[in-house]
């Protein structure tokens, strides 16, 4: 027999040891159930919206002022690359993505802008020209590499290419000289704004450091393949690192 007793002064009906299941209340008014309203949609904080119809992830309140032409764009998160099947078009509200041909020509122009001055400076200091004068000079060149001279030129090249890309993208409306000539620009994926310095620097480092340090041809092939195969934003590895896209700047 249990010795548990209800708390003094507590109503008996609130004693958990004395509760009994309540009998179902008979319906009033002739046994008819009160009418019920239509089922409600998902709550307003549902991740799938308010139930009033889907919209573009780039849509928002009128006058949102996004550089992409809509309201607030989708966050750069798990669904930033297309969402589920049948969802809203992830490219809605964005300018047209730059085609690969214009991106390639812009990159060639930018490479030449840096390469030609570096080549002339190297010649002035007895650099690359030493390899063109005969077989013995090749031994001199390898000696220069072993003594660190070529590493210095590699460091100078890295600073030149990374600095050029970073400064031009962050300070010149997302455009290098080549991109301006090709009428394309780099933009942040999440809202279309000009990349800040940190995003531009990360993008440039991923683009240039592997190419200039260890694997020039292989790395450029990787960059090209990722641009061509990526969907839906045509992002190279450097774009993914900086969370950027390359879009048309034509008016």
Whether the predicted pLDDT of 44 surpasses 60: no
Q: What pLDDT score does 207 carry?
A: 96
More confident residue, 90 or 27: 90
pLDDT band at residue 121 under the 50/70/90 scheme: confident
Counting Cβ atoms within 10 Å, is residue 116 exposed (0-12), middle (13-18) or buried (19+)? exposed
Is the per-residue pLDDT at 245 higher than 70?
yes
**Confidence (pLDDT) at 91:** 81
Confidence band for 222, pLDDT divided at 50, 70 and 90 = very high
218 versus 121: the higher-pLDDT residue is: 218
Top pLDDT among 26 and 159 is at 159
Q: What is d(CA 158, CA 165) in angstroms, rounded to the nearest whole number?
A: 11
User: Residue 85 pLDDT > 60, yes or no?
Assistant: no
Say what the pLDDT of residue 200 is: 97
pLDDT of residue 166: 97
> What's the pLDDT tens digit per position in 182-220?
999 999 999 899 999 999 999 999 999 999 888 888 999
What's the CA angle centered on 76, arms 108 and 225, to 5 degrees?
A: 35
Give me the mean pLDDT over the 117-146 stretch. Answer: 60
6-10, 47-51, 96-100, 210-214: segment of lowest average pLDDT:
47-51
Residue 69: pLDDT band (50, 70, 90) is low
Q: What are the φ/ψ torsions at residue 216 (nearest 5 degrees)?
A: -60, -60
Helices (H), 94-191: 100-124, 135-146, 149-171, 177-182
For the chain, give every domain's residue range: 100-248
- pLDDT of residue 116 exceeding 90, the answer is yes
Q: CA 138, CA 130: separation in Å to the nearest integer? A: 8
Rounded Cα distance between 191 and 247, Å, is 12
Q: What is the pLDDT of residues 154-170, one digit of tens each?
A: 889 999 999 999 999 99
pLDDT on residue 134 = 44
Q: Model's pTM, two decimal places?
A: 0.61
CB-CB contact of 72 with 66 (8 Å):
yes
Cα 133 to Cα 19: distance, rounded to the nearest angstrom? 104
């Amino acid at each position: 027999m249990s010795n548990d007793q209800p708390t003094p002064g507590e109503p008996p009906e609130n004693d958990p040891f004395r509760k009994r299941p309540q009998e179902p209340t008979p319906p009033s008014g002739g046994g008819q159930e009160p009418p019920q309203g239509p089922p409600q949609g998902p709550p307003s904080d549902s991740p799938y919206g308010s139930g009033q119809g889907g919209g573009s992830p780039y849509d928002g309140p009128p006058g949102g002022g996004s550089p992409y032409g809509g309201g607030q764009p989708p966050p750069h998160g798990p669904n930033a690359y297309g969402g589920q099947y049948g969802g809203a078009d992830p490219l809605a509200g964005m300018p047209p993505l730059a085609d690969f041909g214009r991106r390639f020509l812009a990159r060639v122009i930018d490479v030449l802008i840096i390469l030609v001055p570096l080549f002339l400076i190297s010649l002035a200091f007895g650099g690359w020209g030493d390899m063109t004068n005969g077989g013995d000079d090749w031994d001199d060149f390898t000696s220069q590499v072993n003594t660190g001279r070529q590493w210095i030129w590699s460091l100078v090249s890295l600073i030149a290419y990374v600095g050029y890309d970073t400064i031009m993208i962050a300070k010149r409306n997302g455009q290098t000289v080549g991109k301006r000539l090709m009428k394309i620009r780099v933009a942040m994926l999440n809202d279309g704004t000009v990349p800040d310095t940190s995003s531009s620097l990360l993008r440039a480092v991923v683009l240039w450091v592997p190419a200039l340090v260890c694997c020039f041809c292989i790395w450029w092939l990787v960059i090209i393949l990722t641009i061509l195969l990526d969907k839906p934003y045509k992002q190279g590895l450097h774009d993914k690192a900086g969370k950027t896209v390359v879009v048309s700047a034509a008016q």
